[in-house]
Structure 1
Amino acid sequence: MKIEEIEISNPDKFIFPDNKITKLDMVKYYEKIADKMLPFLKDRPLTLQRFPDGIDEGGFFQKNASDYFPDFIETISIETEDGSNQQVICNNKKTLIYLANQGTVTFHVWLAKKDDLYKPDKVVFDLDPPEDSFKKSKRLLK
């Protein structure tokens, strides 16, 4: 099966086994929400959280674009203390579908765009309250 010209490999593989959600289900979901999701990814370097064997098998974070990624995948070179990373930019549905087919479950965006990497235009508050205490966190936000 192809979606956005991308051949979906192992479409029946369970990515979320407890819920019986296959890779094809996940790819179709990302295809369905692409128009709403892409504006949040646009022009931002990504760190991909991939689970190619499903979320129960442990995954990994990927900052560097793989050598085998096709030419239509846009990347940006980002200088690091150890050299540089070639990070993915996802500005279109075809790229989103390709990355989902690679087992990407979570797309972590930079808080700045590619044209000005060191001038963030977003802020994120990551609230990780202990179990059964999310009500306390909600009160703090009021």
Structure 2
Amino acid sequence: MADDVMVAVEGRRIKLSNLDKVFYPGADFTKGEVINYYSRIAPALLPHLAERPMTFRRFPDGVTKAGFFEKNASRHAPSWVRTVTIETPGSSTGAESLDFAVLGDLASLVWAANLAGLELHVPQWTIGARGAARRPDRLVFDLDPGEPATIVECCEVALRLREVLADDGLTAVAKTSGSKGMQLYAAVTTTSAEQTSDYAKRLAEQLEAELPRLVVSRMAKDLRRHKVFIDWSQNNPNKTTIAPYSLRARPAPTVSTPVTWDEVAACRSVDDLTFIADEVLDRVDDHGDLFEVLLTKGPRLPRG
């Protein structure tokens, strides 16, 4: 195993460890390659992490070993990593508040990757200058296929959902989950923390009524076989979704990858929309950030 290496990143000194450790044995993809990927994808990724409290899913022994979610960053973070204290009533840890990291710069992102924070999960809201949660600025629909359905069926649902959102004046963008499903997002302006959940639930129920053989809006497992579950509940302010361009803890270093609507329409197999780290870097070179529209203020969310 390689010795520790001290590096300077934007003026910050970071000790990187175990760079030769294989994190994805199926692809012989090492911790050093994880850090390299996050360093290179940072220009596209960081704007989508800015001002959003981070929940890590860490895999110190690689993806073949059990990982764990971590929200409380204060015990690991150097003083230059920004943290924000957020109330967490009902937390599984029993803590009334936790100190979340906010990854706003390359040095902080490299620090997180060195902690084996393979997966980066963020909420659909940002924090203000003093750490208070703002109202949601993103709407999300998490499309989860029930076997034997796959991302192919998710694409069919996504195309119809895009049309419904467009009718309401919202511009949808899509990404793979990096696992088996996909997500649709739209930038929105809201008046309450509950507004996105209420709106998303209404649309999910609308599509279930319209496409009953393909769509389900309820979470019960016995309803989901052969169908695509539109998980509208991910808009709950207490929940997070995988960030665009984040790695996933799968056998290969797959990435939650923004895709074009032409790619969604053309999808005929799982392989059509499965991308690993090196491919995503090439895609950003070719397409730029397909999620850039989310970085501008969205229209007001329609009321029910």
What range is the shorter-chain TM-score in?
Answer: over 0.9
TM-score, length-normalised on structure 1? 0.93
1:40 equivalent in alignment to 2:70: no
Matched with 1:86 is 99
Unaligned runs of 5+ in 2: 90-94, 160-304
Letter in 2 for 1:137: C
Residue aligned with 1:44, SS = coil
Unaligned runs of 5+ in 1: none
The C-alpha deviation readout for 1:73-121, integer Å capped at 9, x for no partner, is: 1011101214101101000000000000000111101211111515110
Residue aligned with 2:120, SS = strand
| 2:123 pairs with one of 110, 115, 123 | 110
Question: Runs of at least 4 residues of structure 1 off by over 6 A?
Answer: none
What are the equivalent positions in structure 2 for 1:57-76 lying under 5 Å apart?
57-76=65-84
Q: How many residues align?
A: 142
CA distance in 1, matches of 2:147, 2:110: 34
TM-score, length-normalised on structure 2? 0.45
Specify which structure has the bigger relative contact order, considering alpha-carbon pairs within 8 angstroms and separated by 6 or more residues.
1
The C-alpha deviation readout for 1:21-55, integer Å capped at 9, x for no partner, is: 10000000100011110000001001001101101
RMSD: 1.5
CA distance in 2, matches of 1:13, 1:20: 9
CA distance in 2, matches of 1:99, 1:3: 15
* Percent identity of paired positions between Structure 1 and Structure 2: 35
| 1:124 pairs with one of 130, 140, 143 | 140
Residue aligned with 1:125, SS = strand
1:100 equivalent in alignment to 2:117: no
Greater C-alpha radius of gyration: 2
Matched with 2:16 is 8
The C-alpha deviation readout for 1:47-71, integer Å capped at 9, x for no partner, is: 0011011011110000111413210
Q: Is the 8 A contact 1:3 1:97 kept in 2?
A: no
Of 99-108 and 58-67, more deviation after overlay is shown by: 58-67
Cα deviation for residue 141 of structure 1 reads: 2.0
Residue aligned with 1:98, SS = helix
Residue aligned with 2:136, SS = coil
Cα deviation for residue 3 of structure 1 reads: 5.7
CA distance in 2, matches of 1:100, 1:16: 14
Structure with a larger share of its residues in strand? 1
CA distance in 2, matches of 1:58, 1:3: 31
Cα deviation for residue 132 of structure 1 reads: 4.6
Matched with 2:156 is 139
